[in-house]
Chains A and B, each alone.
Chain A
């Protein structure tokens, strides 16, 4: 349990890093999440989660990709680590297995 638990927002961030692949840095992740979820995302919240995920070993980072718009500053580019990928798939496995256990009737009853 310790260290392996993944919160909802953490999972989203991890996924966003995966989506952005080669250009996953703070602002891009914020954009991506806002775009996908449609709700406003705090930049500080994202950075906070990124730091925590890196500490847990799900992400690794390097500096690079400075552009003029950023005042010439480097980005901190994140990529998923093996552990990160593993925890994501574990999470998906868990959901899938739980999905499977929900009786079909539940979905149909919902259609009433």
Chain B
């Protein structure tokens, strides 16, 4: 019996534990003793199994009200008093160590503020287009080309909207929208019929009347049912109606666009401004009723310009419908292609499908459909979210590190509390209360900080966020978050601090805070690894941005002023140009609708070699109408042949093509070859070097420049560096011609930079993040180093007395930290490399990620770390050792 293990001998342990759990303290010890005694006796008499069963029987039979754990009322008062004491002690500790307290709270407040801002940002990004009554039934149609050059885009031929409604019973309503800059969509000069002055306005789109209902556009005056139903009707947003018709009823009034007095528009209604969380954001809706841009346009299948929205009937299955939509391709498009003998017919039959994108997906666009809108990027949303959480984590780490490092100061308190009868649970509760106090105070500061930096963040990220004080959930959410963060950050320190053994502590054998130094180092490495990844990421984004903005793009974007709206000059365009050239500041000028920056006209054509239309697959490319001064004004380089010559009459059918067009068409002898876009045949007289006219994310596509005069933009190359006076003289010329129109201009290089606004915005946000992360990490490091100096004070003094130099002391104190930062660098570098590679994949023209970035990031972080630690280290090394040693 002696050699049996005690567990084997005794009754089932779970039964004992169960009994202990439910039974009150008054009885549990004595009753359990009785059970055991009885059990022993029974086991000897009837064996273990039966004794076990009877033991369980005893336990169960005891489960009666008299034996249950009761709540003692007297406790509650006691506990309240304890909590009071906890708060008092927390306050005293915070007040005594002002530096540590402010570092912990400051770091935590920074982290929380970042998290809060990013939370609001993510919330907004995810909230787009969620407010439609029939939101689940709204879809936007898109083309899904699944061939080798897979692409998804929104514009469809004009007929599709009607066909989809008549052929498919699932579709309840369908409507079209033209959002891209095309015809009068985009921007126009705008005036009331009864006034002379024009103003330049943006945000024009063409829309079907039915679209108003589908997108549930609400009206201030007029109605959704018929606002756009009459030909030549227009709908204004509330803010535009207020601007042009203040205090008047706008509905029924007549307005003129671009001085086209023969086709005035009549206001059919005033709609409420689009909400910030709508994917649409237009101010003028032009009707599509009775519109035909050229004869036969509305029934043709040649030209794809219409975004098409549908509302399905309740209960319709979108996935099934999407499959059935292929019939539109087979029944209509294929017929047209066969008729024109298009060689790509076979490929289209194989690869071209139609898709339905839920309207609520449009903003973040997981389907990756190309369109004209400004999208959010789900990757950035999660990336920023992740970074914000990391920064908060860094702040929590500061708290953990400091409270475990400073544990020696609390050890005596813990020991004494235990001696006087505190159990571990109470101590854990005490330290959690303390960390909750920290967390709540940090939250208060954090929220204050958010309200302060909100405008700054908004201008940085191009958003209009605000702290949602009014909402019901915001304050409770903050409270809950404060609780969670407080417990999370406090958990480890609480368990660590409460585990001290009173005897050891009071004897003084617990070494001061050295116990968890391994963990502390790991956490410091984690902090710095995170910071370094962010630093490297920021460097790479800035390098790429710099590359985009300053690399040779194939044209000269400096010193070019774009004067907008020259199309309204009509027949005077050439005279205007001549007058510009008279100015001494002007080097050259050109008129065109097309410029290699976003926001100017674009189109889509298909090119073949002459006569090969029915044999070859066409090359898709753009055709730009430019005048003879275009190429040299924009500093493009003709690599073969010649520029246009206005003296040659034959040049009216001449084109200059770019190198991509030469390559894709497979032209053998380049010059003199004849190409066609189906409408006309052109002779190639020159080849221009490839220049970027779209985003750097894609490769340069084929382009054909055709000779023509006139356009809506005058690009003026100026000699003078005094831009103010140059602009003044340009404006003078303009006002001579057009006294009733505003002189509008922009700079080519700025327009170009605006194309990459998103990148520079991401760069700026990341810089903020990296700075924050570094600040938080350094705060922690600073506190740790000062703690270390404090702890090793005597050692340092003795070393100094024994003849150590200031330098060697400094080295002694900083070596460890530098080592940690170097380890962090080793961990962070591959991670950062991988992430930046992924990001750069988006760009066809990109920088190489070279080692110097990593070295730079390493050097920067080491210097920052060294700088942080050195203050305390130098102070320690310079101190007079006598002062410290004398106190003993």
- Residue of chain A at shortest CB distance from B58: A43
Specify the main secondary structure of chain B where it touches its partner: helix
Name, among B26, B36, B58, B67, the residue most crowded by chain A CB atoms within 10 Å (CB to CB).
B36
- Residue of chain B at shortest CB distance from A48: B66
Chain A residue contacts of B30, Cβ below 8 A: 25-26, 63, 73-76
Query: Given A43-B61, A44-B58 in contact, is the A73-B36 Cβ separation under 8 Å?
Result: yes
B37-84 contacts to A (CB < 8 Å): 37-38, 40-41, 58, 61-62, 64, 66-67
- Tell me, yes or no, whether A42 is within 8 Å of chain B by CB: yes
Cross-interface CB contact of B34 among A43, A48, A52, A63, cutoff 8 Å? A43
Interface positions of B (Cβ within 8 A of A): 10, 26-27, 29-38, 40-41, 58, 61-62, 64, 66-67
CA–CA, A75 to B67, complex, Å? 16
CB-based contact B64/A44 at 8 Å = yes
Q: Could you tell me the distance in whole angstroms from the C-beta of A103 to the nearest C-beta in chain B? A: 43
Please tell me which stretch of A9-17, A64-72, A82-90, A93-101 contacts chain B, meaning at least 4 of its Cβ atoms lie within 8 angstroms of it: A64-72
CB-based contact A70/B37 at 8 Å = yes
Q: Could you tell me the distance in whole angstroms from the C-beta of B78 to the nearest C-beta in chain A? A: 23
Q: Could you tell me the distance in whole angstroms from the C-beta of A62 to the nearest C-beta in chain B? A: 10
Chain A residue contacts of B29, Cβ below 8 A: 63, 73-74, 76
CB-based contact A74/B33 at 8 Å = yes
Chain B residue contacts of A63, Cβ below 8 A: 29-30
User: How many residues on the A side are at the interface (Cβ–Cβ under 8 A)?
Assistant: 21
- Residue of chain B at shortest CB distance from A54: B26
- Tell me, yes or no, whether A27 is within 8 Å of chain B by CB: yes
- Tell me, yes or no, whether A47 is within 8 Å of chain B by CB: yes
CB-based contact B61/A42 at 8 Å = yes
CA–CA, A42 to B60, complex, Å? 12
Chain A residue contacts of B67, Cβ below 8 A: 44, 47-48, 51
CA–CA, A44 to B67, complex, Å? 9
- Listed from nearest, the 3 A-B pairs whose CB atoms lie closest are A73-B33, A76-B30, A70-B33
CB-based contact B36/A51 at 8 Å = no
CB-based contact B66/A25 at 8 Å = no
Chain A residue contacts of B34, Cβ below 8 A: 25-27, 30, 43, 47, 70, 75
CB-based contact B61/A71 at 8 Å = no
CA–CA, A76 to B36, complex, Å? 14
CB-based contact B66/A43 at 8 Å = no
CB-based contact B62/A69 at 8 Å = no
Chain A residue contacts of B31, Cβ below 8 A: 26, 43, 47, 76
Cross-interface CB contact of A27 among B10, B37, B62, cutoff 8 Å? B37
Query: Given A27-B37, A44-B58, A71-B10 in contact, is the A76-B32 Cβ separation under 8 Å?
Result: no
Q: Could you tell me the distance in whole angstroms from the C-beta of A70 to the nearest C-beta in chain B? A: 4
The interface bits of chain A over 35-52 (1 if a CB of B lies within 8 angstroms of the residue's CB, else 0) are 000000011100110011
CA–CA, A26 to B38, complex, Å? 10
CA–CA, A71 to B35, complex, Å? 10
Seed contacts A43-B35, A43-B38, A48-B64; 19 additional CB < 8 Å A-B pairs = A26-B30, A27-B37, A43-B31, A43-B58, A47-B27, A47-B31, A47-B34, A47-B67, A48-B66, A51-B26, A52-B66, A69-B37, A70-B34, A70-B36, A73-B32, A73-B36, A76-B29, A76-B30, A76-B31
CA–CA, A79 to B58, complex, Å? 24
- Residue of chain A at shortest CB distance from B35: A43
Chain B residue contacts of A75, Cβ below 8 A: 30, 33-34
A-B contact pairs, 22 of them (CB 8 A): A25-B30, A26-B31, A26-B33, A43-B58, A43-B61, A44-B62, A47-B66, A48-B64, A51-B26, A51-B66, A51-B67, A52-B66, A67-B37, A69-B40, A71-B33, A73-B29, A73-B30, A73-B36, A74-B30, A75-B33, A75-B34, A76-B27
Chain B residue contacts of A42, Cβ below 8 A: 61
CA–CA, A8 to B852, complex, Å? 96
CA–CA, A71 to B10, complex, Å? 9
CA–CA, A44 to B23, complex, Å? 12
Q: Could you tell me the distance in whole angstroms from the C-beta of B46 to the nearest C-beta in chain A? A: 15
CA–CA, A93 to B595, complex, Å? 121
Name, among B30, B37, B58, B62, the residue most crowded by chain A CB atoms within 10 Å (CB to CB).
B30
Cross-interface CB contact of B62 among A25, A47, A73, cutoff 8 Å? A47
CA–CA, A63 to B27, complex, Å? 10
Interface positions of A (Cβ within 8 A of B): 25-27, 30, 42-44, 47-48, 51-52, 63, 66-67, 69-71, 73-76
Q: Could you tell me the distance in whole angstroms from the C-beta of A17 to the nearest C-beta in chain B? A: 14
Chain A residue contacts of B36, Cβ below 8 A: 69-71, 73
CA–CA, A21 to B26, complex, Å? 21
Q: Could you tell me the distance in whole angstroms from the C-beta of A43 to the nearest C-beta in chain B? A: 6
Name, among A43, A47, A71, A76, the residue most crowded by chain B CB atoms within 10 Å (CB to CB).
A71
Chain A residue contacts of B37, Cβ below 8 A: 27, 67, 69-70
CB-based contact B10/A44 at 8 Å = no
Name, among B29, B31, B35, the residue most crowded by chain A CB atoms within 10 Å (CB to CB).
B31
- Residue of chain A at shortest CB distance from B59: A44
- Residue of chain A at shortest CB distance from B24: A51
CA–CA, A67 to B34, complex, Å? 11
- Residue of chain A at shortest CB distance from B10: A71
- Residue of chain B at shortest CB distance from A68: B40
CA–CA, A47 to B61, complex, Å? 11
Chain A residue contacts of B33, Cβ below 8 A: 26, 66, 70-71, 73-75
CB-based contact B61/A51 at 8 Å = no
CA–CA, A48 to B62, complex, Å? 9
Chain B residue contacts of A74, Cβ below 8 A: 29-30, 33
- Residue of chain A at shortest CB distance from B26: A51
CA–CA, A26 to B36, complex, Å? 12
CA–CA, A69 to B33, complex, Å? 8
Chain A residue contacts of B62, Cβ below 8 A: 43-44, 47
CA–CA, A67 to B29, complex, Å? 13
Q: Could you tell me the distance in whole angstroms from the C-beta of A65 to the nearest C-beta in chain B? A: 9
- Residue of chain A at shortest CB distance from B9: A71
CA–CA, A25 to B31, complex, Å? 9
Q: Could you tell me the distance in whole angstroms from the C-beta of B514 to the nearest C-beta in chain A? A: 38
CA–CA, A22 to B88, complex, Å? 50
Chain A residue contacts of B61, Cβ below 8 A: 42-44
Q: Could you tell me the distance in whole angstroms from the C-beta of B43 to the nearest C-beta in chain A? A: 11
Q: Could you tell me the distance in whole angstroms from the C-beta of B726 to the nearest C-beta in chain A? A: 101
Chain A residue contacts of B10, Cβ below 8 A: 71
CA–CA, A70 to B27, complex, Å? 15
CA–CA, A43 to B41, complex, Å? 14
Chain B residue contacts of A70, Cβ below 8 A: 33-34, 36-37
Q: Could you tell me the distance in whole angstroms from the C-beta of B35 to the nearest C-beta in chain A? A: 8
Q: Could you tell me the distance in whole angstroms from the C-beta of A26 to the nearest C-beta in chain B? A: 4
- Residue of chain B at shortest CB distance from A71: B36
Q: Could you tell me the distance in whole angstroms from the C-beta of A50 to the nearest C-beta in chain B? A: 9
Chain B residue contacts of A76, Cβ below 8 A: 27, 29-31
Chain A residue contacts of B35, Cβ below 8 A: 43
- Residue of chain B at shortest CB distance from A76: B30
CA–CA, A44 to B27, complex, Å? 11
Chain B residue contacts of A25, Cβ below 8 A: 30, 34
Q: Could you tell me the distance in whole angstroms from the C-beta of A55 to the nearest C-beta in chain B? A: 9
Q: Could you tell me the distance in whole angstroms from the C-beta of B166 to the nearest C-beta in chain A? A: 83
CA–CA, A71 to B27, complex, Å? 16
Q: Could you tell me the distance in whole angstroms from the C-beta of A73 to the nearest C-beta in chain B? A: 3
- Residue of chain B at shortest CB distance from A47: B31
CA–CA, A74 to B157, complex, Å? 93
Name, among A26, A52, A66, A70, the residue most crowded by chain B CB atoms within 10 Å (CB to CB).
A70
Name, among A43, A44, A63, the residue most crowded by chain B CB atoms within 10 Å (CB to CB).
A44
- Residue of chain B at shortest CB distance from A49: B66
CA–CA, A43 to B54, complex, Å? 11
Q: Could you tell me the distance in whole angstroms from the C-beta of B11 to the nearest C-beta in chain A? A: 10
- Residue of chain B at shortest CB distance from A77: B30
CA–CA, A43 to B64, complex, Å? 12
CA–CA, A40 to B58, complex, Å? 14
CA–CA, A44 to B58, complex, Å? 7
CA–CA, A47 to B67, complex, Å? 9
- Residue of chain B at shortest CB distance from A26: B34
Chain A residue contacts of B38, Cβ below 8 A: 27, 43
- Residue of chain A at shortest CB distance from B11: A71
Chain B residue contacts of A73, Cβ below 8 A: 29-30, 32-33, 36
